[in-house]
Structure 1
Amino acid sequence: MIDVRKMDVIPKVFQCLAKSRWLQQTKIGDKDEGDDCSISFLNYDFSLGENLQNELANLIFYFDVHRRALKENDRLAALFAIISAGDLAQKLSDFFDGLKEVVLSVMHRDPRFAWPFVPEEYQIPQHLLTTAADALKCMADLGNAANRDLLMLWKSPAGKIEVIEKHSVDVIQRTFVELAESIGVSREEMDNNINENDQIEWCIEYRYSLGEQLEKDFGRFLFSFEVLRLAILKNDQSAAYVALLDCRLHSHDISNLFLNIKDEVDKVTVLDKRFSWPVIPNGYQLPEHFPINPRR
């Protein structure tokens, strides 16, 4: 289970990097000349955790609307909904890819950040790993937070605990499986996902739960940033550098997960001509009888 409020530590981590003793000349808002990405990428005036849970809830919402529209034989609404879902998946992918680029800038591209040589056999001190793991544990006062069927939790502005369940994310996989079945594509073909030209046909791993994979990836992602935060506080540059390597890797993994969803949407809506869809007219909106998106 992921407490997405932990996302809000990320901008603070980079601010601490900039203000730490060995980087005291670095200004958080500066951009490197010739480099489009800087740590100012994370200077948001809103909660990253709240933004993440809103976008993920919207993504699931549009897949649910798509499935309902197909049951009602409204292919125009179904197409509109799944394209909207693809746009949100791209947006989420772009965010985590941008975060990966920020990490790369701090590690290699920005000459104001100097890092020590770290041998390959170096291991982050165990006390940092243990403290980071403890910091990410959900507190007992969050009620049903211990439920392993839950993917994410957060507190609403009113202080109420809200959640996203893992199985609700799996609606994404079920959607593509059912679409594939509608044109005679079997699960076995989707699981193998390599055609006769050794090209990837289906981007998502259909043998595994997408909700479980997202929880695993987010857990590693948040853990790496918590280790980085602690290493900065301890003025341990070697541990901070290795933690940054992990931050880059796990940001990339999550970006790819959402990009795979976007690629799958493109496949079933545009690239694979076996799917037949109507043309969406300009100014089209979902019919009023569909539920209103709760996270706009």
Structure 2
Amino acid sequence: MKFILGFNKFKEYLAKLLLSHGLTDIDLSASHKKTGFSVWHINWRRDLNKDFKEDWDSLKREINLYDRALLEKDRLAAKAGLMHASIKIGDLAISPFWSISHDLTKILNNKNYNWPSLGLGYAIPKKYLDEKINEIDQKEWNDLAKIQKILIDLVKSQGVTDEELKRVDKRTGRLIWGIDLNVDFNKVFYEKLLALQIAFEGYEKAFIQEDWRAVRAILQRIRLINFQLYKFLKAIRIALRNARTDERFNWPSFPEDYKVPVHYNYKE
């Protein structure tokens, strides 16, 4: 079975869970009175699959800009591509991954849902987890490998040592460069996406069968995978930011009102 994006179907069945506990469509679109921010970070009205695909395509566009500009030795346009790639990968980290993780934490910690105890040693029944989902179109989702190559080429060009790349921020306990550049970015991302799709479908099956222990356990799994994907993409963003802001890379400063040259056919 091939991989397909499953954010919308999951959102649909998650909304059914909330509505079954007394929430209304108005509640799902509510905003905080003081801040005006949405109560829920998942956008129930939008096509999440489409949004994800559009953000991914935007990331591709930024990487292509960087590659083309580098070939033309246009360091300003290359820097612009690097900067916007960092922004786009941050967008992907927040929505859908952080948004789903955040809202599931709120749901799972809500005592009003009377979640059944999982008990020690509980395992999600295999009937809910379809391991046949095992294939992703590599041509469609290959841009993290390109980002990884860009980062490796940049650090090598300026003699950034392996020791520095492994250095940890004492305050946060995280790598200063965010991520180990030797990790296979594509492999990590693909495996997590596949695990997420399997869990999405498992949640739907368990919900339909009203197996609330399995629902709780699968939602916990979905929350964890989404948070892992959020941290992973955020770490790549840190590496991209470092590669753009570190003085050793000697990027030129953007002049006021800089725009990418028109021959790149780049839309701001």
Partners of 1:38 and 1:125 in 2: CA distance: 33
Q: Write out per-residue CA displacement over residues 2-22 of structure 1, whole angstroms, 9 at most, x where no aligned residue.
A: 322x222121021121234xx
| Conserved? CA contact 1:62–1:85, under 8 Å | yes
The partner residue of 1:276 within 247, 250, 262 is 250
Alpha-carbon distance in 2 for matches of 1:234, 1:37: 31
Higher mean C-alpha displacement, 34-43 vs 276-285: 34-43
Residue 238 (structure 1) shift: 0.5
| Unaligned stretches of 5+ residues in structure 2 | none
The residue number in structure 1 matching 2:188 is 213
Q: 1:26 is aligned with what amino acid? A: L
| In structure 2, distance between residues paired with 1:60 and 1:205 | 22
- Partner in structure 1 of residue 87 of structure 2: 87
CA distance in 2, matches of 1:91, 1:9: 21
CA RMSD of aligned residues (A): 2.8
Q: Verify the 8 A CA contact 2:116 2:212 in the aligned structure 1.
A: yes
The 5 Å alignment of 1:1-16 reads: 2-4=3-5, 6-16=6-16
Conservation of the 8 A alpha-carbon contact between 1:128 and 1:231: yes
> 1:231 & 1:282 partners in 2: Cα distance?
56
Aligned counterparts of 1:66 and 1:77: Cα–Cα separation in 2? 7
Instruction: Kindly indicate whether the alpha-carbon contact (under 8 Å) linking 1:214 and 1:254 is maintained by their aligned counterparts in 2.
Output: yes
Q: Could you say which residue in structure 2 is the equivalent of 1:117?
A: 117
Unaligned runs of at least 5 residues, structure 1: 138-145, 152-162
Question: TM-score, normalised to structure 1's length?
Answer: 0.78
Could you say which residue in structure 2 is the equivalent of 1:103?
104
1:252 corresponds to: 227
Counterpart-to-counterpart distance in 1, 2:210 and 2:239: 44
Following TM superposition, the consecutive aligned residue runs of length 4 or more in structure 1 with deviations greater than 4 angstroms are 31-40, 195-199
Measure the CA separation in 2 of the matches of 1:19 and 1:231.
17
Whether the 8 Å CA contact 1:57–1:164 is kept in 2: the answer is no
Partner of 2:140 in structure 1? 164
Decide whether aligned partners of structure 1 residues 40 and 27 sit closer, same or farther in structure 2, where only a CA change above 3 A counts.
Answer: farther
For the 8 Å contact 1:65–1:81, the answer to whether it is kept is yes
More strand by share: 1
Query: 1:195, 1:201 within 8 Å by CA — same for their partners in 2?
Result: yes
Counterpart of 1:173 in structure 2 is 148
Q: What is the number of equivalent residue pairs in this alignment?
A: 260
Separation in 2, partners of 1:16, 1:229: 10
1:23-55 C-alpha deviation (Å, 9 max, x unpaired): 2x222542597996645733123x212221221
Q: CA deviation at 1:225?
A: 1.8
Superposed CA deviations along residues 75-111 of structure 1, whole A, max 9, x for unmatched, are 1111111111111111111111121111011111x44
- Mapping for residues 161-240 of structure 1, pairs under 5 Å: 164-166=140-142, 168-186=143-161, 188-189=162-163, 193-194=166-167, 200-240=175-215
- Alignment partner of 1:267 is 2:237: no
1:57 alignment counterpart = 57
Letter in 1 for 2:140: I
CA–CA separation in structure 2 for the residues paired with 1:236 and 1:280: 57
2:258 counterpart of 1:288: no
TM-score (norm 2): 0.85
- Partner amino acid for 2:118? V
Distance across 2 between alignment mates of 1:119 and 1:29? 35
What is the CA–CA distance in structure 1 between the aligned matches of 2:179 and 2:61, rounded to whole Å? 19
Residue 66 of structure 1 contacts residue 78 of structure 1 at CA under 8 Å; is this kept in 2?
Answer: yes
- What letter corresponds to residue 63 of structure 1 in structure 2? I
Shift of 1:227: 1.2
- Kindly provide the amino acid, as one letter, of the partner of residue 104 in structure 2: V
| 2:7/2:48 contact within 8 Å kept | yes
Instruction: Give the conservation status (yes or no) of the 8 Å contact 2:89–2:237.
Output: yes
